[in-house]
Amino acid sequence: MTTLQALKDDNHISDEELHEITKFILNSFIVRGQYKNEAYVAKKESLISSFTEFIEQYLALHFTGTRERKLQLIKFISKLNMQKELLELASGATNLDDIKKAGKRLGKKSQSAFEGK
């Protein structure tokens, strides 16, 4: 066995490993209860933003294939953004300006949904 083959074998990612990591990541996005620690909220928001950015880059590279898969990823990005907004609400850090910005984003989303049809 060559060194390269040994490295490939040692670093093989199994379906089970990927599934477990995916569940772990998904659970880290879910907002549960109230959050008073601002550092924790900021880290959680950063994690969600980074994952959203990853999916957006994935879409930009056209790896998705079908239109249905692209739509599925876009809907998931929307859900991630909603988790960020729920996190802000749960932390009590939302002020009137944030609510206005969220309203404008939702308005733009609904407009773009109707424009595409």
At 50-107, the pLDDT tens digits run 999 999 998 888 776 788 888 898 999 999 999 888 887 777 755 566 667 777 777 7
Of 101, 81, 102, 71, which Cα lies nearest the Cα of 31? 81
Assess if residue 111 is contained within a domain. yes
The reply to whether 2 falls in a domain is no
Count of domains observed in the chain: 1
Q: Could you tell me which residue, 42 or 106, shows the higher pLDDT?
A: 42
* Residue 98 domain-assigned (yes or no): yes
Residue that has been written with the tokens 């950063």 in this structure: 46
Any domain includes 1: no
pTM attached to this predicted model: 0.65
Residue 93 pLDDT: 58
Domain assignment present for 21:
no
Helix, strand, coil percentages in the chain from 3-state DSSP, rounded to 5: 80, 0, 20
* Residue 35 near residue 90 (C-beta atoms within 8 A): yes
- Is position 91 within any domain? yes
Which residues, other chains included, contact 25 with Cβ-Cβ below 8 Å and sequence gap of 6+?
Answer: 51
Does residue 9 sit within a domain? no
| Domain region containing 97 | 34-115
Cβ(80)–Cβ(51) under 8 Å? yes
